[in-house]
């Protein structure tokens, strides 16, 4: 597979797992095309045409030589200058790396992280929230995140990869969609009655088991193990966590328990204020599940995976799940 084909596969998988559904994604792309058509010519020259086909602006190909047949990838949750230099060192030592895949965004994908948060509006409306509330609250949060990423040095890692000739891409919301669907299906199948049950069922998943060994496993932020879970909201995609103003409306809509990757202190306080149970499964371990589901598809196609950058690599292509780095 080429770099372009690998990224296209990621987008396809992301759409298949998108909580908006395929029609919701199509509506989003139609809106982007309409906005482009209505732009003034002087604005169109700055438009990223990839937006017309890629519904995940926080996921992108950053460096692609256009001709490499990818046989081995270096994959991690966070890829920085060190990991790019690691790929270069491995190349020099005979273990050739054809592509580096990050989960968290870099370059233009980092600069546009806030744009993907628009998908949360459709998701929250599907939960029963009025669209005007979901839109107005999320608009403020989108602007907050946009201001936060605007000041970052977006291209530091991309520049190093380009200088060293290292193919580089990232799959943020693409793989967050995969873990979101995975956890929804797992929790729905297991039907936990209490938060204690929910914690036990999460720890059936090998990435969370390894995270617990690393002292970063699932935790109950609000509530007690004997509390009943009620209606569960799995919140693991959409760029980053929502506005802390949303928790009041989650509670009003009948949600009792939120399962997420991570939660800011302000959000924790707001969720507790509205009597919500919150379980944080773990940030890097949850990201690892999504990445692993994507990387397994590459492995099926004969591509070797070399984990780095915090990735808890679990291959589900074998009958017995294998955690790389914790083999007995």
Q: In sequence order, what are the beta bridge partners of 222? A: 278
CA atoms within 13 Å, Cβ hemisphere of 220: 18
The secondary element (H helix, E strand) that includes residue 102 is: strand 99-102
| Whole-number pLDDT of residue 142 | 87
Of 20, 202, 179, the residue nearest 103 (C-alpha) = 179
| Whole-number pLDDT of residue 208 | 98
Question: Using CA atoms, how far apart are residues 57 and 50, in angstroms rounded to an integer?
Answer: 9
Question: Using CA atoms, how far apart are residues 1 and 302, in angstroms rounded to an integer?
Answer: 9
When pLDDT is averaged across residues 224-243 and rounded to a whole number, the result is 90
Reported pTM: 0.94
- The distance of Cα 184 from the centroid of its chain, to the nearest Å, equals 15
Q: Torsions phi, psi of 320, nearest 5?
A: -100, 120
Place of tokens 């936060």: 148
Does position 73 have pLDDT exceeding 90, yes or no? yes
Q: How confident is the model at residue 122 (pLDDT cuts 50, 70, 90)?
A: confident
pLDDT tens by residue, 284-301: 999 999 999 999 999 999
pLDDT tens by residue, 133-166: 888 888 888 888 889 999 999 999 999 999 999 9
Question: Using CA atoms, how far apart are residues 247 and 272, in angstroms rounded to an integer?
Answer: 9
Q: Are strands 219-222 and 277-280 parallel, antiparallel or unpaired?
A: antiparallel
pLDDT tens by residue, 304-328: 999 999 999 999 997 545 565 544 3
When pLDDT is averaged across residues 181-191 and rounded to a whole number, the result is 97
């Amino acid at each position: 597979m080429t770099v372009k084909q690998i990224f296209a596969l990621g987008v396809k998988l992301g759409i298949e797992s998108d909580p908006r559904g395929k029609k919701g994604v199509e509506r989003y792309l139609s809106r982007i095309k309409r906005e482009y058509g209505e732009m003034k010519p002087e604005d169109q020259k700055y438009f990223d045409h990839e937006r017309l086909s890629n519904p995940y602006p926080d996921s992108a190909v950053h460096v692609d030589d256009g001709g490499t047949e990818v046989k081995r990838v270096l994959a991690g949750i966070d890829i920085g200058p060190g990991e790019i230099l690691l790929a270069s060192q491995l190349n020099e030592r005979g273990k050739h790396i054809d592509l580096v895949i990050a989960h968290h965004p870099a370059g233009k994908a980092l600069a546009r992280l806030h744009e993907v948060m628009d998908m949360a509006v459709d998701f929250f409306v599907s939960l029963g929230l009025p669209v005007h509330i979901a839109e107005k609250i999320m608009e403020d949060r989108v602007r907050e995140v946009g201001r936060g990423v605007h000041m970052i040095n977006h291209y530091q890692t991309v520049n190093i990869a380009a200088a060293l000739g290292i193919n580089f891409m990232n799959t943020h919301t693409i793989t967050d969609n995969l873990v979101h669907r995975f956890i929804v299906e797992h929790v729905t199948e297991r039907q936990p009655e209490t938060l204690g049950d929910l914690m036990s069922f999460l720890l059936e998943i090998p990435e969370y088991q390894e995270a617990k060994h690393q002292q970063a496993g699932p935790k109950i932020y609000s509530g007690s193990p004997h509390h009943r879970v009620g209606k569960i909201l799995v919140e693991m995609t959409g760029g980053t966590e929502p506005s802390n103003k949303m928790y009041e409306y989650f509670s009003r809509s009948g949600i009792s328990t939120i399962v997420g990757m991570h939660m800011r202190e302000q959000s924790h306080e707001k969720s507790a204020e509205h009597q919500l149970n919150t379980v944080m499964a773990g940030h890097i371990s949850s990201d690892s599940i999504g990445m692993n589901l994507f990387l397994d598809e590459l492995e099926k196609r004969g591509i070797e995976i070399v984990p780095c950058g915090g990735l808890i690599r679990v291959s589900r292509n074998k009958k017995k799940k294998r955690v790389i780095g914790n083999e007995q």
